[in-house]
A and B are shown apart, each in its own frame.
Chain A
Amino acid sequence: MSDFAFIKTTCIIPEEYREIPYDKLMRQLNPNFKISELITPYQVLGFLHGWVRTTRDGNIKENFYIINKSLASEILASFKFAIEGLNPVVTAESIELTDEELIQKIRSNDTVYFREFSIFRSLFPGA
């Protein structure tokens, strides 16, 4: 996975919204924000290979976007621009993940999307 870079977004869900599914909550509180408008072009162009959402400590939603290393800074800038002003606050940062850490994130997913699963298949032994 050495050709990949990772963007992590983090959102702390306030207690009063804890029971609402994350997607639904974001749509409800940010009707003008559509994550698909941000990520779909990158998927179609082959710069975004997949993403994983996990939940930490019950209310911290973390999304890990697997992107092309060559465009990492441009994509991060797009993310930061797009998430500005969201409620609840979402932050974005560039991080590094080893294969083992990526596998752990995928295994603990709430949701996972692979644009080309064949790229990732070799990470895992037989099911």
Chain B
Amino acid sequence: MKDFSIIRCYSPLPTDEQGTSLKFGEVLSKYKPGFQTTDVINPSMSDKVFGWSSYSQQNNLMVLFLFIDPKSNLDLMIYAYDKLKEFDQHGFSFNTSNFNVYATDVELLTEKTPDHEEVIFQPLGTTIFL
């Protein structure tokens, strides 16, 4: 089974957030009020995103996974990169060097989403994971 890709974005937590219990989206919205995790998704390509999961705190990292249509992985990655790059102007430089895309299967997905805090699958995606 290899019907989707994963984009992985991660960054060390900002120093002043280490030890707190803020989730991925909460950390970012502190620096850019109103920012939501879904803002990294190109709105014109939202049908290419099957879901996402995120976590923070593990090893002081904050990590976001997007589960996407493999045919769109590059364009979605560029958009997400540019969105997170905007945080350079908001007092937090997201480590945008670390963007990976994996074509994967369910087995690998399980390895890549350890102890996620939030996981959301859109209706299209739920059929993939059942």
**A residues at B contact (CB < 8 Å):** 21, 23-24, 53, 106-107, 109-118, 121, 124, 126-127
B117 to chain A, nearest CB (A): 24
| B103 interface contact, C-beta 8 A | yes
- Which among A109, A112, A124 has the highest number of chain B CB atoms within 10 Å? A112
Q: How far is the CA of A15 from the CA of B71 in the complex (A)?
A: 24
Q: How many interface residues does chain B have, given as a range?
A: 20 to 34
| B118 interface contact, C-beta 8 A | no
Partner of A127, one of B79, B99, B101, B108: B79
Partner of B97, one of A21, A53, A118, A126: A118
Within 8 A of A (CB), among B94-116: 96-103, 105, 107-108
B78 with A127: CB separation less than 8 A: yes
Partner of A126, one of B70, B73, B78: B78
B6 to chain A, nearest CB (A): 10
Partner of B100, one of A24, A106, A114: A114
Closest to A119 in B: B97
